[in-house]
Structure 1
Amino acid sequence: MTLLTVWREDAPETPALRTEDAEEIAVVLKELGVRFEQWPLRDLPDKVTQDEVLDAYRERIDAVSSSEGYVLVDVVQMQPSDDPSWPETVRASREKFLDEHTHDDDEDRFFAKGSGVFYLHVDGKVHAVFCEAGDLLSVPGGTTHWFDMGTAPDYVSVRFFHDDDGWVGNFTGSGISRSFPTYDQLAAGR
């Protein structure tokens, strides 16, 4: 179940709001210009290919791409592996997204499997959206945020882009992301 936790930016130890109510989450996020939807889940194999994910959600992906003008859609998979380089891959990927940043483009993600937390730093507050399978989150370009996949990531997400450049982050240099509960801490508190 999706979880939204909101803190004042100067009070990371005291949540001002904590809810798993999808309708309330959608209302709160809409006030920030963020779209939140929940799509029905499709059966996917444990080790799924990009094509299998895109085919399973083709109708909804095409609808979002058409309505929002997206030209590139891809799939990111961070699933446990026996590959000896897996721990370093996880560490490097997690560190990259943990730093606060913005994008010129919107950041739209649909979680086909697993979970991750988007932290939105807007108007003196931090909104942590613990997304799970079935969740679509659309973060407008220019929104200050960061993402935590946890220390043992296991997710598959569809990404939407307005151009072929894909993911391009503009890092703020702020250390605020280190002050708030991590994915692992939020997951443990559920």
Structure 2
Amino acid sequence: MSSLSVYHVSSPDLPNKVLTHFDDIVATLAEQGVRFDRWQLAPRIVPGASQEEVIAACQEPLDRLMTERGYRALEVLSVAEHHPHEAELRAGLLDEQQQAQAAEWLFVAGRGLLNLHIDDYVYAVFCEKHDLISLPAGTAHWFDMGENPYLVAIRLFANAAGSAPRLTGSELARQFPGLDD
């Protein structure tokens, strides 16, 4: 079940609120300009599947999403436990970063923790299969796939250049609980 924990940056060990009802998560994130939705995906994709396999299995909903929202580029993050590069992949996503363009994360399988740093708050969104979260351009964020990763997520961008992250240099992400905490 998806959830949202909202923290003040001064209290990373104690969330101000924890939400588990879909409508509450949607409303709280919408106040920050972040869209949260669910997309029913028919195919069963196993974490660790190749980018080509994931795209082929999700082609119809991906085409619809890309057409509706004007996206032209995507990246697939497909990682299962014992992936040969899991430590490097995880480390690269744990640093607070921003993208110049708006981006969407579509969770096809598994789970992950997407943290959004907006003003003086951190919105820790536990995402799982069928979750779709839209980040406005410039939203500071970090992602934790956990110590035993098991996920397939597709990130969508207006163009390939927009997917290049800019690290913020902030150490804030290190202070907050991770997926396995």
Q: What TM-score, normalized to structure 1?
A: 0.87
Rounded Cα–Cα distance in structure 1 between residues aligned with 2:174 and 2:44: 34
CA deviation map 1:87-124 (0-9, x unaligned):
xx111111111111111011211111001111111120
Tell me the matched-pair count: 180
Structure 2 residue matching 1:76: 3-state secondary structure = strand
For structure 1, list consecutive stretches of 5 or more residues without a partner in the other structure: 186-190
Displacement after TM superposition at 1:143 (Å): 0.7
Change in Cα spacing, 1:59 to 1:41, as seen in structure 2 (3 Å) is closer
Displacement after TM superposition at 1:166 (Å): 5.7
CA deviation map 1:128-162 (0-9, x unaligned):
00000110111111111111111111111112121
Q: 2:138 aligns with which of 137, 142, 149?
A: 142
One-letter code aligned to 2:122: V
> Does the CA-based 8 Å contact 1:108-1:136 persist in structure 2?
yes
Rounded Cα–Cα distance in structure 2 between residues aligned with 1:50 and 1:161: 16
Counterpart in the other structure of 1:178? 174
RMSD: 1.7
Counterpart in the other structure of 2:39? 39
Rounded Cα–Cα distance in structure 1 between residues aligned with 2:56 and 2:104: 18
1:113 aligns with 2:101: no
> Does the CA-based 8 Å contact 2:3-2:20 persist in structure 1?
yes
One-letter code aligned to 2:178: T
Calculate percent identity across the aligned residue pairs. 35
CA deviation map 1:15-50 (0-9, x unaligned):
111011111101111111111111224241536443
Q: What TM-score, normalized to structure 2?
A: 0.91
